[in-house]
Amino acid sequence: MGKRKESSTNMVNEKCITEGCDLTYAVCKMGGRWKLLILCKLEHGKLRFGEIKKLIPNISERMLTLQLRELEKDGLVKRTVYAEVPPRVDYELSTMSKELIPIWLQLSNWGAKHRQNQEYQISA
Amino acid sequence: MGKRKESSTNMVNEKCITEGCDLTYAVCKMGGRWKLLILCKLEHGKLRFGEIKKLIPNISERMLTLQLRELEKDGLVKRTVYAEVPPRVDYELSTMSKELIPIWLQLSNWGAKHRQNQEYQISA
DNA sequence: TTCGGTGCTAACAAATTTGTAAGTAATGGG
DNA sequence: CCCATTACTTACAAATTTGTTAGCACCGAA
């Protein structure tokens, strides 16, 4: 998110992992702290920067910007700037990320199901 | 992976995000650097610690241990220790993570498809 | 008695991600 | 001129993750 050192072991490892594994590659694209939450909010249509912020009260403006920028760079959201003052910018899912919606649903279901089990195990 | 500060903003944010979003919760479970790669290797059956290591040449023993421990704690892999010398330990997917296999496949396909597009865009 | 094989752990260092606080630009309205 | 609004940016600090190196325990074989 800040720039990364081109040839740290860390970076090299990430590259070789994602290059060798489509699954890891895919999950990396949605793997920032707030990314999936943002994407979920966009599932029902365009939203302005400020609207997303209101929907995710704990996020800071900086984080929201960073995550949106990466999502944009990776082609998961489309950003539209209107030449107005005060500025207006909106964000929406791209075609590419819309393809993920059914998968997200399955993952969500899996999460819901097993979160319950785990809570059950803990409280039991 | 080391212990985390119970009440850093960071930790609090993670908690509230994963509690509020099943999707984020689910993806967090598989979100360590090497986790999906490990899980993929286990897709075809049990493997010993050393076997996994051989299949993932760049991983350090420490990282492999850490990732396996978290996967175990989260119920995604089952660890079996045999009382032998030298020690023998093997790892396999749990029922819970086997449910994810078809989802991983879809994600993989999505990854493969869009990785190509992106490469095309870059080279064009 | 030393050595090899296996699956780790500990102490430390480096890299990366995340969070905080304080700005900035542009312009129309008062 | 001064202010409010919106979507950011910048500089910094804290937290977390990842990587490096060395070592440990066990027992049987040589």
Residues B21, B37 within the same domain: no
Burial class (CB in 10 A: 0-12, 13-18, 19+), B30: buried
- Residues of chain B contacting residue A21, judged by C-beta atoms under 8 Å apart: 36-37, 40
Q: Note whether B13 and B56 are same-domain residues.
A: no
Nearest C-alpha neighbor of B101 from the set B44, B56, B47, B33: B44
Q: Do both B6 and B38 map to the same domain?
A: no
**Partner-chain contact A24 B36, CB within 8 Å:** yes
> Is residue B36 domain-shared with residue B26, that is, in the same domain?
no
A106: containing domain = 33-115
Token digits of residue A64 = 């929201």
B106 and B91 together in one domain: yes
Q: Could you tell me the distance in Å between the CA of residue A74 and the C1' of nucleotide C22?
A: 30
Residue A123 belongs to some domain of the structure? no
Write the CA distances from A111 to A60, A68, B27, integer angstroms: 26, 24, 8
User: If you compute the radius of gyration of chain A from its CA atoms, what whole number of angstroms results?
Assistant: 17
The verdict on a CB contact (< 8 Å) between A13 and B33 is yes
CA angle A111, A117, A118 (to 5 degrees): 85
Query: What would the pLDDT profile of B72-108 be if each residue is shown by its tens digit?
Result: 999 999 999 999 889 999 999 999 999 999 999 999 9
Q: Is there a single domain that holds both residue A26 and residue A44?
A: no
Tens of pLDDT, residue by residue over B44-61, are 999 999 999 999 999 999
**Residue A63 and residue A16 in one domain:** no
What positions of strand C are covered by protein, i.e. any atom < 7 Å from a CB? 4-12, 14-23, 25-28
Q: Across chain A, which distance is largest between two alpha carbons, in Å?
A: 58
Q: What pLDDT, on the 0 to 100 scale, is given for residue B124? A: 44
Which nucleotides of chain D have an atom under 7 angstroms from any protein CB? Answer: 4-12, 14-23, 25-28
Point out the nucleotide closest to B5 (alpha carbon to C1′).
D15
- Would you tell me which residues have their CB within 7 A of strand C? A 1-2, 4-5, 8-11, 32-34, 59-63, 66, 85-87; B 2, 9-10, 13-14, 48-50, 61-62, 65, 68-69, 79, 81, 85-90
Assign residue A64 the CATH number of its domain. Answer: 1.10.10.10
The rounded mean pLDDT for chain B is 92
From chain B, the residues in CB contact with A13 under 8 A are 33, 58
Answer whether residue A78 shows pLDDT above 60: yes
Assess whether pLDDT exceeds 60 at residue B115: yes
Domain assignment present for residue A55? The answer is yes
Residue B117 structure tokens: 């597009």
Residues A47, A75 share a domain: yes
pLDDT at res. B6: 73
**Both B9 and B22 in a single domain?**
yes
Residues A56 and A103 in one domain: yes
Please check whether residue B79 is in contact with residue B68, taking contact to mean a CB–CB distance below 8 angstroms.
Answer: yes
Distance separating alpha carbons of residues B109 and B105, to the nearest angstrom: 6
Q: Do residue A52 and residue A110 come from a single domain? A: yes
How would residue B119 be classed by pLDDT, with cut points 50, 70 and 90?
low
At residue B123, does pLDDT exceed 70? no
Q: Is residue A102 part of a domain?
A: yes
Number of domains in chain B: 2
Over 90: is that where the pLDDT of B66 sits?
yes
Least confident of A4-18, A82-96, B109-123: B109-123
Pair (A81, A109) in one structural domain: yes
Instruction: Examine the pLDDT at B117 and tell me if it is beyond 90.
Output: no
pLDDT tens readout for residues A21-53: 999 999 999 999 999 999 999 999 999 999 999
